[in-house]
Structure 1
Amino acid sequence: MVLQRVFRAVIMGPPGSGKGTVSERLTKSFSLKHLSSGDLLRANIKAQTELGLLMKSCISHGQLVPDDVISRLILADLRDMDHTSWLLDGFPRTVAQAEALDSVYSVDTVINLDVPFQTIQQRLTSRWLHLPSGRVYNINFKPPKIAGLDDVTGEPLVQREDDTPDTVSRRLKAYENQTQPVLEYFRSKGVLQTFSGTETNQLWPHIHTSLSKMFSNQSQKVLGNM
């Protein structure tokens, strides 16, 4: 689908909500540039940029990276894409970051994936890894042929420390506490769209239909102004 003007979207959802899969489908279906704040942060730290070094210092001292530092990093990258339609993932995480984004760009839509925490907990705590290769298994829908062992090498599988039940519960609660005000902020702006369900394939048709309508309306407005 060809867009008639630049389209700007944000995707939000707790860890394990299927955000990565939905983002991949959105970028392919609507020709959006996917911008992950996590990828950008890691790239700046690796390149030892000024902001990267500042963030690395905060992280190494167990401190949260200040909102203004994160905002400067993301907005600097977005300025290089002024004529590109994008999908922003992982930012904003706080109201201060949302306000910083809103002061520079008008966001067309915020896609919120509302997946029950119980579903996410089952999904994440069922995940096991073969560390040397990075192969991922899930005991519910993609189990190894032999329980606890990698299909290819036969080596033991391990569970990430942040995939244990207690850790997952804390991560989900922290996400809820941190992002609820951000969702309310975007709701007050009239751009929040929440999609509820337990499976990505269940959510995707509704997300696709909604954005298709937005793009159609956008094209009509552009043509009407010509």
Structure 2
Amino acid sequence: MGSIEAARKEANGSLTEKKPCVVFVLGGPGSGKGTQCANIVQHFGYTHLSAGDLLRAEIKSGSENGTMIQNMIKEGKIVPSEVTIKLLQKAMLESGNDKFLIDGFPRNEENRAAFEAVTKIEPAFVLFFNCPEEEMERRLLNRNQGREDDNIETIRKRFKVFLESSLPVIEYYNAKGKVREIDAAKSIEDVFEDVKVIFTPKEEQVATA
């Protein structure tokens, strides 16, 4: 066990020395998070880390850890926060960057508390893509082009889970003045204009105003 603990300390040591800038990206399914994260990466040099993608990649790798994750998902269990956080830490260290968009995490209060406890990193802010349910539903149905009857049920369940688990995280950071809310119902271009204002340093905004 000692070596795992030592490795964790070492990973934390090198991460905290870097003092990385972490932005949590939250929004319901269909709120356009992925599209906007790609834009932020291109324009502002962030590294985009999706918790879901990292878990899927770990499963694909066939590692012992991946098999455990796969079994948990199959059994309908939630993957422990620590597992996801370790994957995020590893990806952050390997990227060589010090600016990160963490997408789809923390999904709930327990994730949030574990992330701060394990990494000793507090996010610079939370980028919250707020989109009305009807709009997200419309986008997802257009994207899926499948049988609407079975899709709509699944989509509504996903909204419900998002609201119940993620809103407490948004409220927690809102109380600390760390939430930057975006009206995600607008067009992709208009949403990105709002995003740019948030990511552009104040002094540059003044210079270009």
- TM-score surpassing 0.5? yes
Q: Are 1:110 and 2:98 counterparts?
A: no
Shift, 1:67, TM fit: 2.4
Measured in 1, the distance between the counterparts of 2:103 and 2:142 equals: 25
> In structure 1, which of residues 184, 191, 201 is the aligned counterpart of residue 171 of structure 2?
184
Verify: 1:43 aligned to 2:30, yes or no: no
Normalised to the residue count of structure 2, the TM-score between the two structures is: 0.78
Question: Is this contact kept in 2: 1:114–1:196, CA < 8 A?
Answer: yes
Task: Please state whether the residue corresponding to 2:98 is helix, strand or coil.
Answer: coil
For residue 165 of structure 1, what is the aligned residue in structure 2?
A: 152
Percent pairwise identity: 27
Residues 209 and 75 (structure 1), Cα distance of their counterparts in 2 relative to 1, 3 Å cut: same
Q: CA RMSD in A?
A: 2.4
Mark the CA change 1:82 to 1:119 in structure 2 (over 3 Å): closer, same or farther: same
Corresponding residue for 1:18? Answer: 32
Q: Does the alignment pair 1:208 with 2:196?
A: yes
Question: 1:95: how far off?
Answer: 1.3
Which has the higher relative contact order, 1 or 2, with Cα contacts under 8 A spaced 6 or more apart? 2
Matches of 1:85 and 1:202, distance apart in 2: 24
**Shift, 1:197, TM fit:** 4.0
When Rg is computed on C-alpha atoms for both structures, the one with the higher figure is: 1
Cα 1:207/1:63, change in 2 over 3 Å: same
Count of residue correspondences: 184
TM-score, normalised to structure 1, is: 0.72
Query: Which amino acid letter does the alignment assign opposite residue 212 of structure 1?
Result: T
- The structure in which a higher percent of residues are helix is 2
Structure 1 distance, partners of 2:198, 2:78, is 35
| 1:92 aligned residue | 106
Q: What is the rounded CA distance, in whole Å, between the counterparts of 2:85 and 2:57 in structure 1?
A: 16
Check whether the contact 1:111–1:192 (CA below 8 A) recurs between aligned residues.
yes
- In structure 1, the gaps of 5 or more residues are 130-157, 218-226
Q: 2:136 aligns with which of 104, 120, 130?
A: 120
Which deviations, in whole Å up to 9, do the C-alpha atoms of 1:75-129 show, x marking residues without a partner? 3333434652111112111112112222321311210000111111122123345
Query: What is residue 153 of structure 1 aligned with on the other side?
Result: none
- Structure 1 runs of 4+ aligned residues shifted over 6 Å read none
Deviations along 1:3-22, whole A, 9 cap, x unmatched? xx843212111110011110
Deviation string 1:161-218 (CA, Å, 9 cap, x unpaired) is 86x222211211111111011111222332211112412333221111121036859x
